[in-house]
Amino acid sequence: MTEPPFLRIEGLSKRFGAFTALKGIDLEVRRGEFVCFLGPSGCGKTTLLRAIAGLDPQEEGVIEIAGRDVSRAPPAARDFGIVFQSYALFPNLTVAQNVGYGLVNRRKGAAEIRRRVDELLALVGLPEQHKKHPVQLSGGQQQRVALARALATAPNLLLLDEPLSALDAKVRVRLREEIRALQKRLGVTTVMVTHDQEEALAMADRIVVMNHGVIEQVGTPAEIYRAPASAFVADFVGAMSFLDAVVAGPKALRTGALDLVCRDDRGLPTGTLVRLGLRPEEIRVRGVMPGDLNAVRVEVENLEFLGPFCRARLKPEVETAGPLVADFSANLMRDLDVAEGRRLLIALPPEALRVFAPPPGVPGQQA
């Protein structure tokens, strides 16, 4: 990739009094890319977005947009459009006036503005709503208007601050597909903040997972899901069950009395305390034979019905540091006649066993 990044952030830090909201953030976003900042509330994702916009300027660090250093530039000099969770539509103006708000200032003719407003409203799927006021629209419609308003001045960067969080579940799913399709058609570089991992996985080209003011991992949705860089990322994106374990040798782990083989032990020396992570859908149940690699006899301790599948808590017959969590499809439940108290033979595929550093505070070496 030879093209310089469209958005470049280097060494960015921001404090609110004694609280450090962002520390040493480095990030590059390519032209036309859709990037999601994902993390729990208070992780600094919104602060980072507002720093990019120039709304809450950073103390340290450089922000470049399209090769231009805008670190100290006011928001109006940065060329972006922004959409907020609250829509922030002007309630006393009509839909058309809202969308045209940024155009009026540019000495455009009334006819030209009208044509562009029409074009934008058609683009977001709201034709014929010009004369209405925001209160007369549903939440989803209001957010479309806000999107049209943000795109009206044809910014080269679109910033979305939790744009879907205030909407109903169904509307949210439909609108997220539409936003993604629109973004691809226009090719506008987009940064979206969200705390919803499903939203981030569904929409983003790349996800930036943040926690406590630092970036935990940057990667495509598949990379983030399949190869989480830390226990935090693994836990935050998708479900994962964790067991305390110790490295028993090369590619060998022991949790309690259970010995397991893994594919990647991260080169940790024997005796290192680790956390072992396992996604619930990766546990194999069908066709497991005694003597298979990592085969474990378990008892179904508890079943939680979640509609299309059941989440099961499995207690291994040998002693382990805790139970395993597995997702069973409705099919599998029927075929194997799974019920609470039922004994099963399962296998933990070596490639599904992920080794993480233990949480801070736990000593690194076993006695």
Q: Which residues bind other proteins (CB under 8 A)?
A: 50, 53-56, 74-82, 84, 86-88, 90-93, 101-102, 104-106, 116, 119, 122-123, 133-136, 149-156, 159, 185-188
Nearest distance from C-beta of residue 209 to other proteins, angstroms: 25
Q: Which residues of 69-85 are buried (b: 16+ CB within 10 A; e: fewer)?
A: ebbeeeeeebbbbbbbb
| Residue 55 or 252 with smaller CB distance to other proteins | 55
Between 110 and 135, name the residue whose CB sits nearer to other proteins: 135
Q: Considering the complex, state which of residue 90 and residue 177 has its C-beta at the smaller distance from other proteins.
A: 90
Of 104 and 318, CB closest to other proteins: 104
- Measured from the CB of residue 188, what is the shortest distance to other proteins in angstroms? 8
Nearer residue to other proteins within complex by CB, 88 or 303 = 88
Count of H helices and E strands in the chain?
A: 10, 19
Task: Return the number of the residue (68 or 343) whose C-beta is nearest other proteins.
Answer: 68
Residue 105 CB, shortest distance to other proteins, in Å, is 5
d(C-alpha 361, C-alpha 365), whole Å: 12
Give 181's Cβ-side CA count (13 Å radius): 9
Secondary structure of 60-87 in HEC code, one letter for each residue: EEEEEECCEECCCCCHHHCCCEEEECCC
**Least distance between other proteins and beta carbon 150 (Å):** 7
Could you list the beta-strand ranges (E) of the chain.
7-16, 19-29, 34-38, 60-65, 68-69, 81-84, 157-161, 189-194, 206-211, 214-219, 241-249, 252-255, 258-261, 273-278, 295-305, 309-316, 324-329, 343-347, 354-356
CB of 132 to other proteins, least distance (A): 9
Query: Which residue is it, tokens 């679109």?
Result: 158
User: Which residue has tokens 């630092």?
Assistant: 214
| Minimum gap (Å) between residue 134 Cβ and other proteins | 8
